[in-house]
Homo-oligomer: A and B are copies of this chain.
Amino acid sequence: MYSSELIKGTLKTIILKLLSENERMYGYELTQKVKDMTGGKIQLTEGALYPTLHALEAQGILTTEVVNVGNRLRKYYAITPGGRKIASEKVNEFTDFIATMITLLDLKPNLG
């Protein structure tokens, strides 16, 4: 796990990118996907995730669909066309940011 301050500001970008690649995902699924893909180094906390999802929905960036699985609810989120554009912009901005930080901090990134 990274020190929490590092991850700040990347939550929206992560959510939008994953929802650009997957037709639809639900909250818990997002937490597991990120945990798996990062070897546990990044773990989305529910207290940050759910309010952010709700906000993105309120802004029309995501739409939802509630599905019953057994006796349990699952709230699927899907990205809208406008949201897809924002996702792309956010990812591009983050890429640029990384390049800038590599220069600024004189990093030798281990691009395994």
Contacts and interface: CB of A to CB of B under 8 A. Distances in A.
Nearest to A2: B97
A103 to B, nearest CB: 7
A interface bracket (residues with beta carbon within 8 Å of B): 35 or more
A100 B98 CA distance: 12
Contacts of A102: 98, 109, 111
Nearest to A104: B37
Copy tally for this chain in the complex stands at 2
Interface in A89-108: 91, 93-108
A105 B99 contact: no
B95 A109 contact: yes
Contact of A6 (B2, B5, B94, B104): B94
A32 interface: no
Interface of A: 2-3, 5-10, 12-14, 17, 21, 34, 37-38, 41-42, 91, 93-112
Given A3-B93, A38-B100, 8 more contacts: A5-B8, A6-B94, A7-B97, A14-B104, A14-B105, A37-B104, A98-B98, A98-B101
